[in-house]
Amino acid sequence: MNQLRDDMIDMDIPDELHQRVVAGVEQAMHDGKPAKSRKWGIKKKGVAVAAAVLFAFCLLVDSPFVSPAMANVAQKIPFLNAIYHKDISTRVAEALDAKHIPYDGISILFGKDKKIVVSIKDGTDPELRQEAADVLKRVVIKENDFDAFSIQTVDSTEDSKPIKEKPEEEKRTKVLSELGVSLKGFPDVIVGIRIKAFDVQIPDTEKRVGEIKQKIKEVVNRYHMDDDPIKITTYSMAKRRLDDQWYPLITTIGEGFLAKKEYHVKGFGYSIKENTMNFIITTTYDQVNEESKKTAAKIEQLINSFLKSEDAQKRIGGKKYKIIINSKDHQRIN
């Protein structure tokens, strides 16, 4: 999903809840704190990888839907179309499948070092791993020009070694699981668990706050965690719905610009403030000069063309947006 927020949604909730960060990179602008590297990915045959883009222990999972109509929007913009119609993880999977290379998982990492990491079955075979790397270099990097990535192949047997949780961590995992069951009738309530604390986010449309509190206390007491504070905050359901409307467009733009070196993009995020979507793009430029201004103008033009197309407007309904492009030390370029 974090990072790269100029102004977080104006409500009393943790930033991580509504800021669905498209890609994480270092030197982000989330309260002046550096962001952690993020990764996106897919799972194959039950082996899940690349879940770091979701903040830990969140009960709500978002799954953006890409319709054929929206894919038609991106056809007017070649590199965005390649992402929108078929994201990078899917493109990687198809390239491996075409060559019958067995794999268990794919991770797309956006950070200081952008990587495509593939977990290869029988990855102890160096020739098989090299074949996979060669295929991806050709299909993903050369043919699609997603040249910001390096390729890494790993042995899936190393990935699959079980990680034993510490007793306290195991206990908290069980508590979170039980809270999910207990709050099944409250689909918009989100519970997060930290060391010695619980975070609960409730939509401002929810009237059963007392009942929710009681259900949480029952589970917590059952595990003798009564001393751990339960912080309950609210979030705007209207802003959440607005976020959902924009999300497929946001992921396309973020992944597209981060995948290509020519745009010098190291970070991409967004915020919603006063019903305006703010795109916040951080570049690798260390100063504002003619070169950085030229690149920023090109980025802005591509985003505008994409978002002002007829089919994109059908999704966002003419809603307002703002594009902010900064140098790596957060000087405004555009």
Which stretch of DSSP H or E encloses residue 331?
none
Split at pLDDT 50, 70, 90, the class of 25 is very low
Distance CA 17, CA 35 (A): 15
**pTM for the structure as a whole:** 0.65
Q: What confidence score (pLDDT) does residue 188 get?
A: 92
Bigger pLDDT: 176 vs 321: 321
Q: What confidence score (pLDDT) does residue 163 get?
A: 58
- DSSP letter at 7 equals S
Q: What confidence score (pLDDT) does residue 270 get?
A: 93
Split at pLDDT 50, 70, 90, the class of 3 is very low
Q: What confidence score (pLDDT) does residue 58 get?
A: 30
What average pLDDT does range 255-273 have in this prediction?
93
pLDDT at 96 over 90: yes
Domain limits, the chain = 70-159, 167-236
pLDDT at 67 over 80: no
- DSSP letter at 109 equals E
- DSSP letter at 44 equals B
Q: What confidence score (pLDDT) does residue 193 get?
A: 77
What average pLDDT does range 154-165 have in this prediction?
66
pLDDT at 46 over 70: no
For the chain, percent of residues with pLDDT exceeding 70: 73
Task: Look at the block and give the residue holding tokens 């099944």.
Answer: 184
Give me the architecture of the 167-236 domain, per CATH: 2-Layer Sandwich (3.30)
Fold match, 70-159 / 167-236 = no
pLDDT at 27 over 70: no
For residue 281 the two structure tokens come to 């793009």
CATH topology of domain 70-159: GMP Synthetase; Chain A, domain 3 (3.30.300)
Split at pLDDT 50, 70, 90, the class of 248 is confident
Split at pLDDT 50, 70, 90, the class of 162 is low
pLDDT at 21 over 50: no
Name which of 183, 266, 265 is nearest 219 in CA terms: 183
